[in-house]
Amino acid sequence: MNAVITAALPVFALILTGWLAARWRILGPAATDALNRYVVYLSLPALLFRAMTQVDLAQAAHWGFAAAFAGGIAATFLAAFLGARRTQKALTDRSIQGLAASYANAGYMGIPLCLALFGAESLAPATFTTLLTASVLFGFAIALIEFDRQQAPSLPSTLLKVGRALLRNPLLAAPVLGLAWASTGVPLPEGLDRYVSLLGASASPCALVTIGLFLAQTETSSSGPGVLRLVAGKLLLQPAVTAVLAFYVFPMPPMWAWTAVLMSALPIGTGPFMLAAMYGRDARVTSRAILVSTVASVQTVSLLVAWISAHPLP
C-alpha cells in the first residue's frame, strides 16, 4: 500500500488536478491545446533526448524487451481489429480501433510512473516503449489508413506519407537524436545538459495535468460494448500477453520485464483520438475509451504497482 501511495497516487492526483482545473474553469478550453503542444513539442522531447544521451548502448540492447512489448501490442491490435469487423466495414475505422486498444499512454503517464516506481534506471526501457508506441505502432496504423484512402494504393506513396508523418513526430525525433549523440561517446556540454534537464523536468507534471484537462472535456455518456471491448483489451489482454512473453519467453533483466508489463497496463493514450480527428472519422468511441480506461486504470494500475512492490527487484 505504501508503494501505491508513493508511486501511483501522485500520478493520479496530478490528473485529478487537471480535471478539477478544467471543471472549476481555472484553465479554459484553450489551455488543453496549449499545454499539450508544450509537452509534445518541448518538454517531453527534451526529457526523451536527455535520457537517450545517457544510455549505455552496449548494455541497453535488450531485444527480448522490444519483442515482448511489441508482442503484447500486436496481439491486442489484432484482437480489436478483427473484433470490429461486424460494426466497422472500413479498413480506416478498424485500424483506429486496433490502435485504440493497443496504444498505451507511455509518454504522458508511463514515464512519470516508471520514474516514481523504479527510478532513473527505468528511463531507457520506458523511452523504448514510447518509441515503439509513437513510431512503430502509430506508423503502422497510418500506413493502413493511407492504404485504405487511396483509390489505387501504391506502396511507395504510402511509405512516403508514413515517413513524413513520423519525421514530424517530435516524440520519435528527440530520442533518435539522443541515441545518435550517445553513439558518439561525447557527453553533453554542461550548459546544454542543464537546459534540457530543466525543460524535461516539467514534462511529467504538465503531461499528467493535460490528461486531466482532456478528460474533463470528454463526453462520458454511452460507454457501449465497443468502448468496453477496447478498454478490456488495453487494461487486461495487453499486459497479460506482455507478461507471459517478458517472464517466460524472452530473457531480460527483471526491471525491464516489469517495466514492459507496467507500460503495457497503462490506459489508452490520446494518439487514436487525434488520428481519428485528423482523418475526419467519428472520434466519440475513442474519446470515451480513453476516459473509461483512464478511470479504470486507477484501480488496475494501482493493483499492479502494489504487486510489483511486493516482489522487490533483485
Q: Tell me, what's the pLDDT at 243?
A: 96
Q: Which helix (H) or strand (E) holds 63?
A: helix 63-83
pLDDT tens readout for residues 179-207: 889 888 888 999 999 999 999 888 878 87
Residue ranges of the domains in the chain? Answer: 2-310
Domain 2-310 has CATH 1.20.1530.20: yes
Strand partners, 104: 268
The helix/strand/coil state of 104 is strand
User: Amino acid letter at 65?
Assistant: F
Q: What is the mean pLDDT of the chain?
A: 83
pLDDT tens readout for residues 74-87: 999 999 999 887 77
User: Amino acid letter at 43?
Assistant: S
Q: What is the C-alpha to C-alpha distance for residues 103 and 93, in angstroms, rounded to an integer?
A: 15
Q: Tell me, what's the pLDDT at 295?
A: 84
Q: What angle do CA 212, 10, 4 make, to 5 degrees?
A: 125
Strand partners, 270: none
Q: How confident is the model at residue 313 (pLDDT cuts 50, 70, 90)?
A: low
DSSP string across 110-152? IHHHHHHHH-GGGHHHHHHHHHIIIIIIHHHHHHHHHHHH-SS
Mean pLDDT across 10-16: 82
Q: Which helix (H) or strand (E) holds 80?
A: helix 63-83
Mean pLDDT across 204-232: 77
> What is the pTM (predicted TM-score) of this model?
0.77
